Amino acid sequence: MRRVHITTDLKKIYDKLHAGLGPQHWWPGETPFEVMVGAILTQNTNWGNVEKAIVNLKKSGLLKPERLFKLPHNRLARLIKPAGYYNVKARRLKNFLRFLIGTYGGDIRKMAGRNTDVLRGELLAVNGIGRETADSILLYALNKPVFVVDAYTKRILARHKISAADADYDLVQQIFTRNLKKDVKLFNEYHALIVRVGKEFCRKIKPRCRICPLQKQR
DNA sequence: GACCAGGCACATC
DNA sequence: GATGTGCATGGT
């Protein structure tokens, strides 16, 4: 498929989603730091469960880099328990905090000032932060124009025959970034809409749904 | 009771 | 490089 068609298709999908569902106001989090924590906690986990964990951290007044980092593993694990994988995630949070504090003194504005590609490499070097988590942090916490890919995104492109079903993360990401304007607002909204529609329609109503903007109607 | 959710690292081949 | 597995909760 030629580039111009992909661009057109991607725009069509976006317009349809946006017209049907409206702006999603992502990421649901009050501060960039909260977004970062949420990005790690939501790995393979329902967002509702993550919210419970974040509420626990907030109520304890621990949603700050230094305080969270100082917390003993068992206490941290107990607080984030609702988010599942709590031992793994406690370790991953600590790894991230060690990086944030060690490299940027816990200063997120300082972190945001770093070159995006360099920063992405630094994040990926943290054990427990993979591509989706790194890109979520870059886009939703730091407002960098990075497209976030997830399982839904792959399914959508596959369904529209834009990419193969088993296309890997980097390829899918490139399809978006090379065919759309590198725009933070657009990337933000697009990924959020994909998640929203994936949740609400893709599984429940199948195989054909007239509301579902993901069904290619030609 | 099965299945799923906004992944990731690690072991093994 | 590809494939399989552990990690765990709470909602449907």
pLDDT averaged per 10 residues in sequence order, chain A, 218 residues:
79 94 96 98 97 98 98 98 98 98 98 98 98 98 97 88 89 96 98 90 47 39
Output the pLDDT for position A200: 77
* Helices (H), ranges, chain A: 3-21, 32-41, 47-59, 65-70, 73-79, 86-104, 108-112, 116-124, 131-136, 151-159, 169-179, 184-197
Phi, psi of A37 (to 5 degrees): -60, -45
Place of tokens 């809409």: A193
**Residue-level pLDDT at A160:** 85
Q: pTM score > 0.75 for this model? A: yes
pLDDT of residue A206: 39
| Residues whose C-beta lies under 7 Å from strand B | A 26-28, 38-39, 42-47, 49, 84-85, 88, 124, 126-134, 136, 140, 150-152, 195, 198-199, 203
Question: Cβ atoms within 10 A of the Cβ of A80, count?
Answer: 25
Length of chain A: 218
pLDDT value at residue A2: 57
Nearest by Cα to A94 from A145, A162, A41: A41
Q: What's the Å distance between residue A207 CA and nucleotide C12 C1'?
A: 19
CA of A141 to C1' of B6 (A): 15
Q: What is the pLDDT of residue A203?
A: 56
CB-based contact A7:A178 (threshold 8 Å):
no
pLDDT number for residue A4: 67
Amino acid letter for position A210: R
Phi-psi region of A74 (alpha: psi -120 to 50; beta: other; left: phi over 0): alpha
